[in-house]
Structure 1
Amino acid sequence: MKRLISIAVSLIILTIIYTKIDFLGLIRVFENSDRGWTIASFAMLIPLVLITSWRLQELTPSGVRLRFAEANRLILAASVLNMVLPSKMGDLAKAYFMRDRGHLSGSLALSLVVFEKACDLLSLLLWCIFGLCLYPDKNFLFWVMTVAVSSSFIFGILLLSSRKFAHLFFDLTGRIAPKKIGVKLDKMRFSWGEMHEYFWSDRRQLAKICLTSIFLWFCHLLQIWFFILALKAWTPFLANLALSPLAILAGLMPLTFAGVGTRDAALILFYQPYFNEATGAALGLLCTSRYFIPAIAGLPFLSQYLATVRNFKKS
């Protein structure tokens, strides 16, 4: 039911967007697009998936090292599940895959995936802060977003670096959360503690994973800038570092199907100083393809993990 509601919300938002823009203008934007930049931007999906797979491989302990091909299949299968499970839960399903494949214990697998997603979010916030600090002519809304993003980044760093802060956070949220959510928080508290013990015991490995995540998200944002060039539009790259993360964050809100609708609306809104609404809608479609193409590529591997998905939904 939740998935049907999110699809309905996405369709409503898209209907509002496409009734207000020049639809013929949107078609002309694609007709006049630069083929070279289009090919280059879509080609970036390959190294993005490969780097993500290598990072997942590096996250696992040396004694139970994932093969690169297996890590690649896990990443692509998770991309499929992210299209049907809410709030990027497909990424968490990777923990169940790794456990059932015999690579890791369930709690350690969950802690690795949680750390991977935390690194992704913090890297995205870091580039967003960098771009927002250099963004010219910030109005009140942008100052509010700068403070909000910076606060979220500091909060995330404290959760990852301080066991005392993490314990306090889980303790307070566990007290006010409903009982069903409280049980999940208790499991997360245990996995979070195991994650702290695992990663902070090897600072060199921790630094390698963090730097890889920062570079990976630089490449993600660079791909979006390539999309803009493919549409024969222009945005300064530093401005893109501020605006594209904000649109991605809008798409992460669990309101719509795979971020479709909220992400499109955010792109149109934030990029208004640089190009028209038709180009913003076209950029939204290209950004959505960043999620659909890996999901399509992951379909052949999904059948291997269907039993795990059923157990994941039950749990």
Structure 2
Amino acid sequence: MKRLISIAISVAILLIIYSKIDFQGLIQVFRDCDRVWMTVSLGMVIPITMVTSWRLQQLMPQETSLGFIEANRLILGASVLNMVLPSKMGDIVKAYFMRDRGHLSGSLSLSLVVFEKACDMLSLLLWCVFGLFVYPEKDGLFWTMTLAVTVGLIFGLLLLGSRQFAQIFFVSAIKIAPKKLRQKLQNLQISWQEMHDYFWGDKKQLLIVSATSIFTWFLHLLQIWLFILALKAWTPFIINIALSPLAILAGLLPLTFAGVGTRDAALIFFYQSYFDAQTGAALGLLCTSRYFLPAIIGLPFLGQMMGAARKLKQ
């Protein structure tokens, strides 16, 4: 039911957007696009997936073995499930699948996925803070967003870096959370503690994974900039580093299906000084393709993970 509501909200937002722009102009933007840059930008899905898969290999304990091809299958399979399951549950299913294949224990596999997602969010916030601080035309809204993103980054770093801070946070959150969420928070607390023990015990591994996460998100932001070039528009790359993470964060709000609608509206709003609404809407469609293309490529691997998804549902 929640999924249907999120899809309905996405459709409603898109209808509002397309009712306010020249739809024929949107089609013309794609007709006039640079096909070489379009191919290159869409093809960025491949190196991004490969780097993400290599990072998953680096997350694994040294005594376990996860092949590069299988890591790619896990990443792509999780992309499919993330499109149909709520709250990025595809990544949780990925953890259970790794456990079932005998790579590592269930609690540790969940810890690895939690750390993986935490690194992704902190890397995105890091690039966003960097871009916003160098953004030349900051008004009150942008200073507010800069402050909010910076606070979010500091909070995340404290959660990841301080066991004491994390303990205080989870204890407080469990006390005030509704009953339905308490068990999930307690499970997450256990996984978070195990994650602290595992990763802070090997500083070299922690550095490699963190650096790879930052580089991966650089590739994501580069892909969005290449989309802009493909649409024959222009935004300085440093401006793109500030604006595109804000649009991605808007898409992460738990309101719409895969961020469709909120992300599109944010792209049109934030980039309005650099190109028209038709180009912004086209950029929104291309940014949505960043999630659908890996899901389509991962369809052949979906069956391998469905067993783990059924066990998780039970």
Scaled to the shorter chain, the TM-score interval is: over 0.9
2:188 corresponds to which letter in structure 1? M
Q: Which moved more, 1:41-50 or 1:224-233?
A: 41-50
TM-score (normalizing by structure 1)? 0.98
Long gaps (5+) in structure 2? none
Q: Which moved more, 1:82-91 or 1:299-308?
A: 82-91
CA drift of 1:87 comes to 2.3
1:81 aligns with 2:78: no
Once the two structures are superposed, what CA deviation does each residue of 1:7-56 show, in whole Å capped at 9, x if it has no partner?
A: 00000000000000000110110011001111110111111000000000
**Contact 2:158 / 2:165 at 8 angstroms: preserved in 1?**
yes
TM-score (normalizing by structure 2)? 0.99
**Residue of structure 1 equivalent to 2:309:** 309
2:302 corresponds to which letter in structure 1? L
Distance, in Å, in 1 between the alignment partners of 2:151 and 2:91 is 25
CA drift of 1:198 comes to 0.3
CA drift of 1:120 comes to 0.4
**Contact 1:33 / 1:231 at 8 angstroms: preserved in 2?**
yes
2:79 corresponds to which letter in structure 1? S
1:129 aligns with 2:133: no
1:153 aligns with 2:153: yes
**Residue of structure 2 equivalent to 1:261:** 261
**Contact 1:80 / 1:296 at 8 angstroms: preserved in 2?**
yes
**Residue of structure 1 equivalent to 2:228:** 228
**Residue of structure 2 equivalent to 1:119:** 119
CA drift of 1:101 comes to 1.1
**Contact 1:29 / 1:278 at 8 angstroms: preserved in 2?**
yes
Q: Number of residues paired by the alignment?
A: 314
**Residue of structure 1 equivalent to 2:210:** 210
Distance, in Å, in 1 between the alignment partners of 2:311 and 2:284 is 34
**Residue of structure 1 equivalent to 2:286:** 286
Once the two structures are superposed, what CA deviation does each residue of 1:186-214 show, in whole Å capped at 9, x if it has no partner?
A: 11111100000000001011000000000
Identical pairs, percent: 69
CA drift of 1:180 comes to 2.2
**Residue of structure 2 equivalent to 1:30:** 30
Long gaps (5+) in structure 1? none
CA drift of 1:65 comes to 2.0
1:210 corresponds to which letter in structure 2? S
**Contact 2:94 / 2:305 at 8 angstroms: preserved in 1?**
no
Q: Give me the CA root mean square deviation.
A: 0.7
1:253 corresponds to which letter in structure 2? L
**Residue of structure 2 equivalent to 1:52:** 52
Distance, in Å, in 2 between the alignment partners of 1:87 and 1:141 is 28
Distance, in Å, in 2 between the alignment partners of 1:258 and 1:9 is 11
Q: Give the 3-state SS of the residue equivalent to 2:136 in structure 1.
A: coil
Q: Give the 3-state SS of the residue equivalent to 1:274 in structure 2.
A: coil
